[in-house]
Structure 1
Amino acid sequence: MKTVVFPGSFDPVTLGHIDLISRASKLAERVVIAVAVNTSKKTLFNLDERCDLLFQATAHLNGVEVIPFSGLLADFAKEHNAQALIRGIRGTTDADYELQLAQVNKALNTALETILLPANAATGFISSTVVKEVFKHHGDLDSFAPACVKEALLNKRF
């Protein structure tokens, strides 16, 4: 496979995201991380900050690009010549939701496939919300997020 898209809001990027991106980079020559501009979601980090954190956290991976996007994901994938979307699933609730999204994206772009990757047991419980909560309560982030995220959270002082 040449190109896959891994979409998300990444507020902030977690070790779970990095695991999925790393695994996707073994499946495709090019992984486009699509950082969503989601006006219905209040984010802690702005779009540029989220993209910068992803650049830092994925610098060690070949063939990975970070690109912000708004609009329909199916259109974004077509613009970037992607054959598939990569989505992580942590359990059955995620699977049901992702199946519905896959069907919508397929209806919008019939050439686009969706690959659902099960979360790694070591990182499957991590979410961006968990990272922010652990940080807020002065917990150790080493097992949850890249070092650049810890530094960025310290600078945010939320």
Structure 2
Amino acid sequence: MKAIYPGSFDPITNGHIDIINRASLFFDEMIVAVMVNSKKQYMFTTEERKKLIEMEFSDNEKIKVVTFQGLLVDYLKQNNIKAIVKGLRTVTDYGYEAQMALTNKNLYEDAETFFIHSTEEYSFISSSLVKEIYTYGGSLSGYIPKHVIKALEEKIL
């Protein structure tokens, strides 16, 4: 069975990577969907975000990376995908993600959302936090992969 893990991934964090790796143990194919949200301003372009994720999972044939703009359920229907994977860090995440899961189910009755709790080690990491730490010169070791740190440094320069 295929599953999709949608997100902005601006940039991908070790928390995202942990959820993807853990979810890939339960599905035949994990599709990481780099989504475009017109309400967000991104540090990395869609293609840059896709490339950074592909670099991380280049040795895992079960994980595919795609880009998509529009409703997630449209992508699900077009690609015969029924499983959505979402990571949860906090109760606040659950409130938002539960609403999205119910909306997706309403729009596409075959869609099922599977929630995976983050491990304690990554429960506080977010892409927004990573960008803020980087902006103020803090260390990102343990938050994002080394190749993503390098890409951030190149982006800022």
Q: Secondary structure at the match of 1:122?
A: helix
Q: Deviations over 1:101-156 (max 9, x none)?
A: 00100011111100011111001110001111222222221200011110111101
2:153 maps to 1:154: yes
Structure-2 residue corresponding to 1:133:
132
Structure-2 residue corresponding to 1:23:
22
TM-score, L = length of structure 2: 0.96
- Which residues of 2 match residues 83-94 of structure 1 at below 5 A? 83-94=82-93
2 CA distance for matches of 1:119 and 1:62? 23
Q: Secondary structure at the match of 1:116?
A: strand
Contact 1:10 1:35 survives alignment (8 Å): yes
1 CA distance for matches of 2:79 and 2:31? 8
Letter in 1 for 2:72: L
Runs of 4+ that moved beyond 4 A: none
1 CA distance for matches of 2:56 and 2:127? 14
Q: How many residue pairs align between the two structures?
A: 157
Structure-2 residue corresponding to 1:96:
95
TM-score, L = length of structure 1: 0.95
Q: Secondary structure at the match of 1:125?
A: coil
**Gaps spanning 5+ residues in structure 2: where?**
none
2:113 maps to 1:114: yes
2:73 maps to 1:74: yes
Structure-2 residue corresponding to 1:50:
49
Structure-1 residue corresponding to 2:7:
8
1 CA distance for matches of 2:96 and 2:153? 33
Contact 1:25 1:62 survives alignment (8 Å): no
2 CA distance for matches of 1:113 and 1:96? 16
Structure-2 residue corresponding to 1:36:
35
Greater shift in the superposed pair: 91-100 or 13-22: 91-100
2 CA distance for matches of 1:78 and 1:120? 31
**Deviation, structure 1 residue 62:** 3.1
Identity of aligned residues (%): 38
**Gaps spanning 5+ residues in structure 1: where?**
none
Letter in 1 for 2:152: L
